[in-house]
Structures are given as C-alpha cells and as structure tokens.
Amino acid sequence: MVLLSAQGMAVARVAEVTFTSADRVRDVIHNFNADGFDSLYPKYSGGRPRTFTLPERREIKKIVKSRPVEHDLPFSTWSL
C-alpha cells in the first residue's frame, strides 16, 4: 500500500488493488508516515488475556489428570 501510494496511485485505486477499504489504506499510510518501517510489523501479541493465573492452571491440570472418583464424584471419567 505504501509503495503504491509513493508511486502516485490514488488511495481509492490502492484500496481496489489490495482488496481493502480506502480507510484502511489511509490508516496504513498514516502509520507509516508516523513510525516508518516499524509500523509494518505488528505490535500485538494476539489472543485474549489469560483468564487463569499460573497456580490456578496447575491446580486445574492436577484435577484433570486425576479420576473423578478421587474427588468423591459419582462418575468414572471426565467430560465436558
């Protein structure tokens, strides 16, 4: 997008060629002008923040690896 824009292509045409919206093209160009090449690398780690802490995860793992009867439950296997 940045290269096409630098070559003089109109935003609407860049959007058409890259199969995106003109607003997205403007955002990319704006971010490139502000941050340079660093703007081309994603800054997100992805995914939702963890819901459980490490100790909670360890406890869940311990329970899952055990059998339900060990917890006085009336069934023989775990299920969702």
| Structural domain spans, the chain | 1-40, 50-79
Mean pLDDT, residues 29-44 taken together: 89
Alpha helix segments (H runs only) across the chain: 2-6, 11-17, 22-35, 54-65
* Averaged pLDDT of the chain: 90
Distance CA 31, CA 39 (A): 6
- Pick from 28, 6, 23, 25: which is nearest to 14 by CA? 25
Band (80; pLDDT cuts 50, 70, 90): confident
The 10s digit of each residue's pLDDT in 41-52 is 877 777 888 889
The 10s digit of each residue's pLDDT in 19-29 is 999 999 999 99
